[in-house]
Structure 1
Amino acid sequence: MTLEVPVTTKKPVAYEIRGRVLVVSIDSPPVNALGLGVRQGLSEALDRLEEDQSLSAMLVVGAGANFIGGADIREFGKPRQAPFVRDICSRMETSSKLVVAAIRGAALGGGLEVALSAHYRLVVDGARLGLPEVLLGLLPGSGGTQRMPRLIGVSAALDLMLTGRHIGATEAVALGLADRHVSGADAVGSGVAYVEELLAQGARPRPTRDATAVRGDASDVEAISTARNEQRKRHPMLLSPHLIVDLVEATSQLPFDPAMEMELEKFQQCIDSPQRRGLIHAFFVERDTSKIPEATKGKPRDVNEVGVVGGGTMGAGIAIAALNAGLRVTLVERDEPALLRGLSNIEQVYAGLVAKGRMTKSDQNAVMARLAGFTDFAALGFADVVIEAAFEDMKVKKDVFGQLDQVCKPGAVLATNTSYLDIDEIAKATNRPEDVIGLHFFAPAYIMRLLEVVVPRQVHPDVVATAFSLARILKKVAVRAGVCDGFIGNRILSVYRRAADYMMEDGASPYEIDAAIRAFGYPMGPLQVSDLSGGDIGWATRKRQAQTRDPKQRYVRIADRIAEQGWFGQKTRRGWYLYPDGARKGVPDPDVLNIVDEERKRSGIVPRSFTSEEIQRRYLAAMVNEGANVVHEEIALRPLDVDAVFVHGFGFPRFRGGPMLYADMVGLPKILSDIEAYAKEDPQFWRPSPLLLRLVSEGRDFSSLNTRDA
């Protein structure tokens, strides 16, 4: 007989008794996060299990699409409230009655830690298991660092915790993370049947803390050593990965309870770290950039086929991004040789994936079957979105858009990949400016996640909505930008790069500047980036801007002098650095230092020394100040949009959250004080942003502008 217990929909955890089994269903949309209400409900369920003598087991399931999506990260940094997840996990694990978890959808972070505390685990199709805390600057804090290695071994546990990757049902069973995989999606029915089977077999509680996969032998020691060395090399400035390695090592050195105390101590260390704030901010920013005014004003148009004009590095990269998303792609080039080069550029990328074993030859053939190449613009007549990736010249762009206007179907979105040019001006080349938008990809376009969606004056809201929809299809982080020279990212880049040039002419060597910025957390310094992207690109921009440059503005000629030599970086084997024999890693060039010295003398400058901290402070102050201007002028909607651009497009260290959050953590008064001090040397360049001045006067920070009300 089944006794139905009344369920109130207001509670995030519901109970139902099926025979000897207490079915506990977590129903806290959207992902069943472990907020206070869920924790209280699980604690009450355990009370019921202990008190009701007619019950022999408890089954924990998730209502909706997920088991438990993880901790409620909105609670991080706030006063902790009992019951705590680690205590619930301990009660489950030490229960004298059987506890089983039936996992459908996501069991992530604290959700997987709950499942690990059950005595048995069943997974159904579509299950996703993982401990992704490292991606938020955290570590599993409710026993995950201790239970997972004991269950599946040191090496496998380190892999899951240090990458934060999710695994499916089949891999979970193969690793020993789950006991059974059941086809279908009925977690409740399959779970109850599994519990009854276990009870019929006389199965007893099986605490994970007693699992014996940690052996403490030579292979475990080697796995720990390898992981530690890899993290020192890959993430020298991050905290949580190194603490995770220490905690996994503790599984073979300490009994379970002392190791759990160590985990709690290390978890709190992560919570208190500014890295946690930075990484969680970056996590939310990826979602918040899609909150745009046009989202409520326009409906995305259907996108099934994409046209790309231009098969060079950028055009080929955009085509690959679209192909990877499963879209059909039509590539158009000016003539047959250029088209063949473009198609070859695309094919070589996929051939490389096949050679590395990351794609099969049949998969490559299937992808290439969705690609067609032509030299006639008429081939773009069926495309839903056409993305122009031609040479960065206004006349060229307008000519392309004039032709697109003639051949593209009504309702097709016409997009330009320009990095700097005025999209309102480009739109004038068509009779449908309402369909013209900017889609500024970052190279390589099939790898870099940032996509600046540049919104000109006459564009229709549904075109903007379509651009954001396409970004989701392409798995990009889309950021809305207004029209100005350089939009968000390149506009700010031009300013802080000038700050670097000034420091170089004043006495800092280019190699000291790069080293200081790497020490801040960037993977590369600004001059290394210039060599990677090509010094000719910036040179062309500076020449284009020369006619409108303020004559009062200080201008440093060092980069121009280097470009005039034909030293454009890696592609010419020489730029700011030397690249002997085509090496990817450059070495300092004495001739560059000679040019720097010559320019200092020409400008009458007596060089002075700069510390690494001084370089960082000036570089970041220029970046933050121009970021404030971009928000003040509504080129960016919010400070968080600036953060997204720099984390995803310019290598800003993710653990710092972005330049605007970094400024908040340093303190806006301190940033303003630095700018005002530098203004005594150069008042033309160091002009405090009106927004920065206002926020400091009001005692507010940039984050206060990220809310919907702001």
Structure 2
Amino acid sequence: MAAINAVTDLSVEDGIAVLTLNSPPVNALSAGVRDGLALGVGQALADPAVKAVVLICEGRTFIAGADITEFGGAQKGASLFEVQTAIEDCSKPVIAAIHGTALGGGLEVALTCHYRVAVPSAKCGLPEVNLGLLPGAGGTQRLPRIVGAQKAMEMMTSGQHVPAKQCLAMGLVDELVEEGKLRDGALAFARKIVAEGRPLKRVRDLNDKVEADRAHPEVFDAFRKANARKFRGFLAPEYNIRCIEAAVNLPFDEGLQVERKLFMELMSGYQSAAQRYSFFAERQAAKIPDVPDDTPLIPVETVGVLGAGTMGGGIAMNFANAGIPVTIVEVKQDALDRGLSTIRKNYERTAQRGGLTAEQVEQRMSLIKGSLDMNDFATVDLVVEAVFERMDIKKDIFTKLDAICKDGAILATNTSALNIDEIASVTKRPEAVIGLHFFSPANVMKLLEIVRADHTSKPVIATSMKLAKKIGKIAALVGVCPGFVGNRILAQRQREANKLVLEGAMPWDVDRVLYDFGFPMGPFAMSDLAGLDIGWVKEKSKGETLRDVLCEMDRRGQKTGAGFYDYDENRNAKPSPVTEKIIKDFIEKSGANPRQISDEEILERCIYPMINEGAKILEEGKAIRASDIDVVWQNGYGWPVYRGGPMWWGDHIGLDKVLAKMKEFEAKMGEQFKPSPLLERLVAEGKKFSDLKA
């Protein structure tokens, strides 16, 4: 075997050249990999003893995509197009041997090979849409020529990783070879190709599928319509569809030109910049500067959950889904039965949609044990408390847990706002206490806000971060303060939304502006969905707030058919004249005059205080980095990923603009708009949140 460069080797075995890439961790298409590919194919072509070429990768995967760190930088080494041309125009058959994943640029390289073989566990995909992009190396033109427009649209707009067996069925892979014997299988396939004298199969020349699709142009608009809700606000899915339309309607080279033009538009736009930022932000959030990678972990093989309500049940499902046995404790049998029944219904609903088999439902239910006795927590490795948000109740529970749980067990609270240092103070082991703030519904929402108290030990933090990944969550470590990071920032938006309504904006005006910004729903629609009576007590209501009046009228949200909005039998919302009259009455009683409020003011009043509060959180050290705040808001509160997060958005629109507007609002409306000193300092120094070091 001869080394071509640091990451590529070439060997010849019985007339078959084996070009091997080894560039850990995922054989990304860095400059070295591209150079090695181009040189290797050139050497194999020049060797008269070589009859075919097998392209294979060492490590855990085939080429898993482009090297994202090179995006936006100067081109080094051979371009990807040069590599693809060398492969596609090679006069000897080139076979891609795929294991692990062939994603993005990796699949685009494989598509320029004349044949593709794979092990059954391999997966292929073009996930560029998740970075706000489209496949920019011919993938939008080649894929439809193999799988057809419909399947290409499904793959490219979802970014799905398609299993090898499905790839074989659609023609994306030519043959499956035995697991663990990829090299031997690929060599055997290459010899068969040579022996049979099969022609070079250039994907760019395949036209049967696109010609068939050309006769049915309606498939494109039908696909757009069917996915309109999912694609709302995003540019990349539409641009991917346009490229596939070009593949169907234009010659290959002209389609490539369309792909290139639209790729560059996306690449230079803010949406892709935001989505690429988010990709790295999620990975960065896992890194805790003062908790090294070699911090010892606490084995978590069994878990206890206190409370079988909506949150407790959802939390228990996360651990059962990961194969970890869970004991749920409730105070009363009927509450326990109700909670376990809800868990089963959730699993069965997933099974009805094809997400689980009946056997998997039973297997997961078998991991969840119900109990009425907290002493059953004596042997578990982790307890998560998920009961009412009252400090006296939490402290009583943690006093009992401290007495019951074994030494070394982690004691976690799911509180969304309470002081965890105060909760930990009633235990003899404050170092074992941590906040694990799951978001509702806990079995669905991706975010886990991990709250570090003053005495929480580094092993407890490291274990919690690792465990979050195991149960499929995206974790961000935050500090103790009222509302932590997510709810503390949410309070700013909620305050201004409520004030705007009492100044003359209607709830549906505020909701529309935030929905158009990209949120799944506005604050008032969200309140109606959750129920206006959460935390509301009829006996204590004095009709002092809009919510009080609505609840007193039994307008408690979607469940009663009326809240801020009126709802039909299908829970479709429409503006309510009843709510409008109540609002006008409130304004009149206050002695204020209602005014017309612009969409621009609504957005600035709701968003800029969030950015400012994030600056205060950073200043206080309650978040490690600005990107962690954005991770919290994207994954827990529906901030649109194509706008990066509140801190990224502040950087994008200009912190000077945010500061000027906050000062203007402060002068007009009071000190709740007082700018953070950090915001003022960054503007004075011409810096951004992204310039701050963790």
User: TM-score normalised to the size of structure 2?
Assistant: 0.96
Partner of 1:398: 395
Q: Distance in 1 between matches of 2:118 and 2:175?
A: 6
Q: Distance in 1 between matches of 2:417 and 2:3?
A: 63
Q: Distance in 2 between matches of 1:297 and 1:14?
A: 34
Counterpart check, 1:521 vs 2:518: yes
My pick for the range that moved more, 518-527 or 353-362, is: 353-362
Counterpart check, 1:585 vs 2:582: no
Partner of 1:303: 300
Q: Distance in 2 between matches of 1:561 and 1:660?
A: 36
**CA displacement 1:43-93 (0-9 Å, x = unmatched):** 112321332232222211111111101011112222344522133223311
Task: Give the one of 171, 177, 195 matched to 1:200.
Answer: 195
Q: Distance in 2 between matches of 1:472 and 1:139?
A: 28
Q: Distance in 2 between matches of 1:537 and 1:627?
A: 27
Match of 1:97, SS state, is: coil
Partner of 1:182: 177
Task: Give the one of 348, 351, 365 matched to 1:351.
Answer: 348
Q: Distance in 2 between matches of 1:296 and 1:473?
A: 16
Match of 1:77, SS state, is: coil
1:140 CA drift (Å):
0.6
Unmatched 5+ residue regions in structure 1? 547-555
Counterpart check, 1:51 vs 2:39: no
CA contact (8 A) 2:133 2:272 kept: yes
1:534 CA drift (Å):
3.0
1:169 aligned partner, one-letter code: A
1:566 CA drift (Å):
4.8
**CA displacement 1:600-624 (0-9 Å, x = unmatched):** 2232221211222221122110110
1:304 CA drift (Å):
1.7
Q: Distance in 2 between matches of 1:538 and 1:603?
A: 25
1:308 CA drift (Å):
0.8
Task: Give the one of 454, 461, 468 matched to 2:458.
Answer: 461
Task: Give the one of 620, 639, 642 matched to 1:633.
Answer: 620
CA contact (8 A) 2:438 2:449 kept: yes
Match of 2:27, SS state, is: coil
Task: Give the one of 200, 214, 231 matched to 1:235.
Answer: 231
Distance 1:296 1:127, change over 3 A: closer
Task: Give the one of 480, 501, 506 matched to 1:504.
Answer: 501
Q: Distance in 2 between matches of 1:121 and 1:296?
A: 39
CA contact (8 A) 1:155 1:220 kept: no
Unmatched 5+ residue regions in structure 2? none
Partner of 1:276: 272
Task: Give the one of 225, 250, 257 matched to 1:254.
Answer: 250
Q: Distance in 1 between matches of 2:494 and 2:435?
A: 24
CA contact (8 A) 2:32 2:77 kept: no
Q: Distance in 1 between matches of 2:480 and 2:70?
A: 38
Q: Distance in 2 between matches of 1:185 and 1:657?
A: 41
User: How many residue pairs align between the two structures?
Assistant: 690
Task: Give the one of 570, 574, 584 matched to 2:558.
Answer: 570
Alignment of 1:270-349 (within 5 A): 270-292=266-288, 293-296=290-293, 298-349=295-346
Alignment of 1:443-482 (within 5 A): 443-482=440-479
Identity of aligned residues (%): 40
Distance 1:629 1:90, change over 3 A: same
User: TM-score normalised to the size of structure 1?
Assistant: 0.94
1:384 CA drift (Å):
1.2
Distance 1:539 1:136, change over 3 A: farther
Partner of 1:105: 100
Q: Distance in 2 between matches of 1:89 and 1:356?
A: 40
1:247 CA drift (Å):
1.3
Q: Distance in 2 between matches of 1:36 and 1:605?
A: 65
Q: Distance in 2 between matches of 1:189 and 1:642?
A: 49
Distance 1:534 1:419, change over 3 A: farther
Distance 1:111 1:6, change over 3 A: closer
Q: Distance in 2 between matches of 1:567 and 1:411?
A: 48
Match of 1:15, SS state, is: strand
Q: Distance in 1 between matches of 2:227 and 2:369?
A: 43
2:235 aligned partner, one-letter code: L
Counterpart check, 1:114 vs 2:109: yes
CA contact (8 A) 2:94 2:114 kept: yes
**CA displacement 1:376-432 (0-9 Å, x = unmatched):** 011112211111111111111112212211221211111111111111111122222
Task: Give the one of 661, 684, 690 matched to 2:671.
Answer: 684
Distance 1:448 1:60, change over 3 A: same
1:633 CA drift (Å):
0.7
Distance 1:86 1:397, change over 3 A: same
Alignment of 1:117-132 (within 5 A): 117-132=112-127
Q: Distance in 1 between matches of 2:93 and 2:4?
A: 23
Q: Distance in 1 between matches of 2:75 and 2:605?
A: 39
Match of 1:681, SS state, is: helix
Alignment of 1:406-425 (within 5 A): 406-425=403-422
Q: Distance in 2 between matches of 1:217 and 1:640?
A: 43
Match of 1:298, SS state, is: coil
**CA displacement 1:241-268 (0-9 Å, x = unmatched):** 1111111112221111111111111111
Q: Distance in 2 between matches of 1:68 and 1:563?
A: 58
Partner of 1:668: 655
Q: Distance in 1 between matches of 2:619 and 2:263?
A: 38
Distance 1:18 1:538, change over 3 A: farther
Counterpart check, 1:645 vs 2:632: yes
Partner of 1:552: none
Q: Distance in 2 between matches of 1:231 and 1:363?
A: 30
Task: Give the one of 83, 86, 91 matched to 2:81.
Answer: 86
2:122 aligned partner, one-letter code: A
Match of 2:370, SS state, is: strand
Q: Distance in 2 between matches of 1:669 and 1:302?
A: 48
Q: Distance in 2 between matches of 1:70 and 1:361?
A: 36
Match of 1:680, SS state, is: helix
Q: Distance in 1 between matches of 2:640 and 2:457?
A: 35
